[in-house]
């Protein structure tokens, strides 16, 4: 029984920027970096994603956002200081940081970040969003914001954005 985690290996690393076109369909992928300052932090990425999509001439399609990390997640909710405090408090309540998690026990785990809570909170939020693009813009309701939850910061986090559609 290994104390280590399995590493995921691609034959080639993901390209920073890549585009493909075929028969009127355009696919464009990019990696973006988000810096965080706290252990648990909620970052509003809405404007950044909306601006990313607007620069391409993709009228109808989808845009996929993917966190490249296990302890950094993406989700939709309202962006209000009071509510963000409630979300953090809820995550801290539903998964206790100081319970006796095996992932935090050197006898069973070679991870020295002691971040079992971060992994378990990530289960609840998910690591990706697949949004619609219509009329050249991301489809979102009036109060919907694209939020990133840093669950084990501070760190520099990589997100991959892939736009897929027709112009």
For the bound state, the minimum distance from the C-beta of residue 24 to its own copies, rounded and expressed in Å, comes to 3
The answer to whether 92 contacts its own copies (rule: CB under 8 A) is no
The answer to whether 138 contacts its own copies (rule: CB under 8 A) is yes
Question: Which parts of 44-83 interact with its own copies (CB under 8 A)?
Answer: 44, 46, 50, 54, 59-62, 64, 66-70, 75-83
Question: Which parts of 94-113 interact with its own copies (CB under 8 A)?
Answer: 94-95, 101-103, 105, 108-109, 111
CA 1 to chain centre: 30
Query: What is the C-alpha to C-alpha distance for residues 61 and 44, in angstroms, rounded to an integer?
Result: 22
Which of 45, 131, 148, 151 forms a contact with its own copies (CB under 8 A)? 131
The footprint of its own copies on this chain (CB under 8 A) covers a number of residues equal to 92
Question: Which parts of 19-38 interact with its own copies (CB under 8 A)?
Answer: 19-25, 27, 29
């Amino acid at each position: 029984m290994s104390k280590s985690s399995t590493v995921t290996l691609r034959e080639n690393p993901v390209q920073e920027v890549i585009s493909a076109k075929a028969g009127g369909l355009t696919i464009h992928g990019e990696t973006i970096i988000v810096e965080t300052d706290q252990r648990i932090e909620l970052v509003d990425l809405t404007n950044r994603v909306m601006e990313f999509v607007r620069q391409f001439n993709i009228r109808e399609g989808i845009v996929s956002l993917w966190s490249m990390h296990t302890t950094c997640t993406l989700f939709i909710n309202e962006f209000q200081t009071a509510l963000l405090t409630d979300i953090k408090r809820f995550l801290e309540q539903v998964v206790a940081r100081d319970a006796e998690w095996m992932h935090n026990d050197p006898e069973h785990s070679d991870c020295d970040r002691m971040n079992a809570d971060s992994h378990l909170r990530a289960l609840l939020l998910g690591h990706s969003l697949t949004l619609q693009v219509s009329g050249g813009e991301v489809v979102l309701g009036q109060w919907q914001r694209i939020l990133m939850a840093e669950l084990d910061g501070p760190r520099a986090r990589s997100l991959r954005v892939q736009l897929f559609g027709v112009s």
